[in-house]
Amino acid sequence: MSLYIGEALVGEGNEVAHIDLLIGDKTGPVGTAFSNALCSQTAGHSNLLAVLEPNLAVKPATVMITKVTIKGAKQAVQMFGPAQYAVAKAVADSVEEGVIPKDQAEDLVIVCGVFIHWEASDDKKIFEYNYEATKLSIARAMKNEPSVDEMIAKKGAAAHPFSGV
């Protein structure tokens, strides 16, 4: 398969993490999306590589895209600090744990959409929630979860926390 899709919502309050991600081959549609994300920077949407520390990018190479407009230095530092480290650590741990096969880490890329609320204030929670959400998204993507049958079985009782319904 050349395209895996994962999603997870973890946490609460303004630090809530919502991750949407794509995992796929560098030569496929995810590779194209990865390249476009790095080459398509716009005001308030600075896409960045996930790194464990400067000069130590993760494998599979992972680009983080902002899901909301970054509205100031505080929010930018949260994206380039606790959120970046959380995503990078989740990717690295997923490879180490075999969720992403180590022998595929050089051939795959990840596009990871990250949400940082403009009123988020607790960097520790930003890290924890984004780490958990990224790990869960990766695991779901690699297992093709939820299955179609699970989605159909649960749709009647589904209650979206932000739907207002």
Q: How far apart are CA 156 and CA 48, in angstroms?
A: 38
Report pLDDT for 6: 97
Amino acid at 81: G
Q: Which residue has tokens 């990250």?
A: 114
Q: How far apart are CA 163 and CA 165, in angstroms?
A: 5
Cβ atoms of 93 and 60 closer than 8 Å: no
CATH (one of 3.40.50.720, 3.30.230.60, 3.40.50.300, 3.20.20.150) for 3-154: 3.30.230.60
- The stretches of 54-121 forming alpha helices (DSSP H) are 73-78, 84-96
Q: Which of 18, 45, 117, 160 is catalytic?
A: 18
Question: 3-state DSSP call for residue 5?
Answer: strand
45 catalytic residue (yes or no): no
Residue 68 confidence (pLDDT) above 70: yes
Report pLDDT for 1: 65
Q: What's the mean per-residue pLDDT of the chain? A: 94
Question: 3-state DSSP call for residue 66?
Answer: strand
What is the percent of the chain where pLDDT is above 90?
87
The domains of the chain are located at 3-154
* Mean pLDDT along residues 6-34: 96
pLDDT tens-digit profile of 33-53?
999 999 988 888 889 999 999
Read off the pTM.
0.94
Q: How far apart are CA 130 and CA 106, in angstroms?
A: 23
Q: How far apart are CA 130 and CA 18, in angstroms?
A: 7
Angle at 131 (CA atoms; ends 125, 134), nearest 5 degrees = 135
Report pLDDT for 161: 78
pLDDT tens-digit profile of 92-140?
999 999 999 999 999 999 999 999 999 999 999 999 999 999 999 999 9
Q: How far apart are CA 37 and CA 112, in angstroms?
A: 10
What is the percent of the chain where pLDDT is above 70?
99
Sign of dihedral through CA atoms 23, 101, 9, 150?
positive
